[in-house]
Structure 1
């Protein structure tokens, strides 16, 4: 029997019943929201996205969603401090379309990264984290520069262990520690320079979602197509998608491949 938004709404209502929460179904936008009754803070879920994942992974997809929503809602109801928790502050990569303020109007702190991505900052709380807003900094007298320096230092301390695969003469490296900061490793300049030094061809990087970072040693024209297909697949499956676009890394800069492909000189024997 086909899953509909109404049926999925009912499944989520059964899983997310708490006395202090309320749920709101928006038929026009096809969304389902869970929020604290008192503060109005909460999470909005796009039902077609949930249905797509449920059709592939079944109830396990809903188990993960339920855990994520509950953790996030409990975090919203806490007052978290930065002082004394410096080692738990990290940068997180989000799509350039990600909101710059919370639904209650708090301004999130972010930095520009590429045309497709932005850098936000988070306080790690164990199973989840809280994005840092200006109110948190002001309350504790922190400067933005101090917070960014701490986050940049911490991302360098994260594991960089990868799995490697070779496809049609191109080498692919997958970083997926599943700690919530896999995509953040793209901000570790020492790691990027190390990868640049060891590749035989050109270094391409994909940041399809929060929980994976892909490096590609592109040694022939097929490499770009393979990476593009990988990026699209991971982007569609990610819990927190970032971008399906891949980048070339050169001279310490990330440039979208589709832009560079137009400038790229053809190698001998590669077409007209």
Structure 2
């Protein structure tokens, strides 16, 4: 039986039925909204996107969506404090085009990173995290420097175990721990310096999406083509895409580089 938006709406209504929630359906936009009755804080789900995932993954897609929605709603309804939670604060990398305010108008704490990327800060809540806004800092009397110092310290403590692959005599290293902070490891200067010291050729770094950090030891021209194709593929498939442009790491600086991939490497 073919899945439709109306059928998906009914499934979600059954799975998300709670006395504390209210729901609504916008037929024109084909969206389904669920929110807390008392605060009206909630989220809007684009039904055709869910139907597409259902057609590809079946009931698993609905299970994952329901889990994410319930977790997001729980976080929205909680008051979070930073004091005492210092070990749970991490930086997260996002595209330079990522919003700097929440949908409710709260200004997010962020700072520039490269021309392609920006740094935000997250309070880790276990299964998920919440981006830290200016109001949270003001409430605790914290400065931008303090949140940045804490987050940068914590990202250095993360495990940096990688998998290595060699293609056309170029070495590629992948960190994909699936902890939400794989791309954030690009902020660990000691890690970048270690990879630079141990590289035979030019060191390139890529953060195509949130859940991977790629180091490339480029030793010939083919290496750039491989990296360009690899980065574009990861960028297209990522749950939270960041940038399809890799960076050259030189003199402790990250410089975005546009690579026109001409040669597809043979296996």
Per the TM superposition, whether the score is higher than 0.5 is yes
Q: For residues 89-128 of structure 1, what are the structure 2 equivalents within 5 Å?
A: 89-128=89-128
Indicate if the aligned counterparts of 1:206 and 1:215 stay in contact, CA closer than 8 A. Answer: yes
In structure 2, the partner of 1:182 is 182
Q: Label 1:102 to 1:56 Cα distance change in 2 as closer, same or farther (>3 A).
A: same
What SS does structure 2 have at the residue aligned with 1:234?
A: helix
How far residue 177 of structure 1 moved from its aligned partner, in angstroms, is 1.1
CA distance in 2 between counterparts of 1:254 and 1:29 reads 41
Query: What is the SS of the residue equivalent to 2:249?
Result: strand
Q: Is the 8 A contact 2:122 2:130 kept in 1?
A: yes
Structure 2 vs 1, CA of residues 247 and 4 (structure 1 numbering), >3 Å: closer, same or farther? farther
Kept in 2: contact 1:206–1:246 (CA 8 A): yes
State the match for 1:199 in structure 2.
199
Write out aligned runs for 1:23-42 (5 A). 23-26=23-26, 31-42=31-42
Q: Compute the displacement of 1:32 (Å).
A: 4.0
- Match for residue 62 of structure 2? 62
Unpaired runs of 5+ residues, structure 2, are 262-267
Kept in 1, the 8 Å contact 2:32–2:44? The answer is yes
Q: Is the 8 A contact 1:53 1:237 kept in 2?
A: no
- How many Å apart are 1:28 and its aligned residue? 5.3
* Corresponding residue number in structure 1 for 2:159: 159
Q: How big is the shift at 1:52?
A: 4.7
1:46 CA displacement: 4.3
Q: Any idea what SS the aligned residue of 1:35 has?
A: strand
Q: Distance in 1 between matches of 2:33 and 2:116?
A: 27
**1:24 to 1:206, Cα distance in 2 relative to 1, 3 A:** farther
Query: What is the match of residue 84 of structure 1?
Result: 84
Question: 1:172-205 deviations in whole A, cap 9, x for unaligned?
Answer: 1111111111111011111111111111222122
The 5-angstrom pairing of residues 111-260 of structure 1 reads: 111-258=111-258
Deviations 1:35-67 (A, max 9, x none): 223223223444455455444433333332322
Find the aligned partners of 1:236 and 1:10 in 2 and give their Cα distance.
31
Q: What SS is found at the alignment partner of 2:216? A: strand
| TM-score, structure 2 as length reference | 0.87
| Residues 203-231 of structure 1, C-alpha deviations (whole Å, 9 max, x = no match) | 12221221111111122222222222222
**Number of aligned residue pairs:** 261
Q: CA RMSD in A?
A: 2.4
Q: Structure 1 residues 248 and 26, CA, compared in 2 at 3 Å: closer, same or farther?
A: farther
User: Which segment is superposed worse, 118-127 or 240-249?
Assistant: 240-249
8 A Cα contact 2:112 2:118, kept in partner: yes
Q: Structure 1 residues 96-105 or 250-259, which shifts more? A: 250-259
Deviation of the 1:13 alpha carbon: 3.6
1:228 and 1:24, CA in 2 relative to 1: closer, same or farther beyond 3 A? farther
Query: Unaligned regions of 5+ residues in structure 1, if any?
Result: 262-272
**Deviation, structure 1 residue 30:** 5.2
Q: Which moved more, 1:20-29 or 1:103-112?
A: 20-29
Q: Secondary structure at the match of 1:241?
A: coil
